[in-house]
Amino acid sequence: MSFEVPAHLQTDLHAQYGKDKIRVLRVVREGDWHQVVEYNVTVLVEGDIDASYTKADNSVVVATDSMKNITYYLAKVSPHVLVPEYFALHLGTHLVSRYLHIHKAFVTIEQLRWSRIPVVNAQGLDGAVEGHKHSFLRDGDDKRVIKAEVDASAGKDKLVGRVSAGITDLLVLKSTGSSFTSFIRDEYTTLA
């Protein structure tokens, strides 16, 4: 017995899959001056992969383990690793360029915050405080969040990149001067 889906109920299948919680920590050394980045990365891909869902054909599947290893590889060699927006675009571009049947890559990076430990300048006599060359501390729970999409739907030579960025888990306190004024007052307003 076979069942045919009526034409008016058929839809295009846009399947996505990927790897979440890829932890990246990179120390970039420039002499005795070091820079540190720590990322939580999510990678999703979309393309001609519907056969893996509709026909159980995994020949079109890029293993999520490969996505993780590509992320680690690029974190090691990419000149863009210190700038999460550029790194996300580099990773997405690599995925859609490497695999012909992948047309879109979605990369989300959550950057954890590391700051240099303040130390008194040992060279100067003025006692100025500066950041240590290679010692860091986690300075707050706020995180930069970058979402990038690399779209190769129009062709591998016509890539389109889109990036949005923001901050999460940022705590702000304003201790005075925070009254709420000059807003629209109408029949729905209950504020005094």
Tens of pLDDT along 153-190? 999 999 999 999 999 999 988 888 877 788 899 999 98
pLDDT over 60 at 6, yes or no: yes
> What are residue 27's DSSP bridge partners?
36
How far is Cα 7 from Cα 155, in angstroms, rounded to an integer?
29
Kindly state the tokens that stand for 79: 């000149």
Give residues with Cβ within 8 angstroms of 25, minimum separation 6: 36, 37, 38, 39
Tens of pLDDT along 106-150? 999 999 999 999 988 766 666 678 899 999 999 889 999 999 999
pLDDT over 60 at 1, yes or no: no
* Helix, coil or strand: residue 83: coil
Question: In degrees rounded to 5, what are phi and psi of residue 121?
Answer: -60, 115
Q: Which of 129, 99, 105 is nearest to 117 (CA)?
A: 129
pTM above threshold 0.75? yes
Which amino acid is present at 106?
Answer: F
Tens of pLDDT along 45-88? 999 988 887 788 888 899 999 999 999 999 999 999 999 999 99
What pLDDT does residue 13 have? Answer: 62
For 19, counting Cβ atoms within 10 Å of its Cβ (0-12 exposed, 13-18 middle, 19+ buried), the class is buried
By the 8 A CB rule, do 66 and 34 touch? no
Give residues with Cβ within 8 angstroms of 60, minimum separation 6: 47, 48, 49, 51, 52, 101
- Nearest 10 degrees: CA dihedral of 5, 54, 148, 65? 170
* pLDDT band at residue 5 using 50, 70 and 90 as cut-offs: low
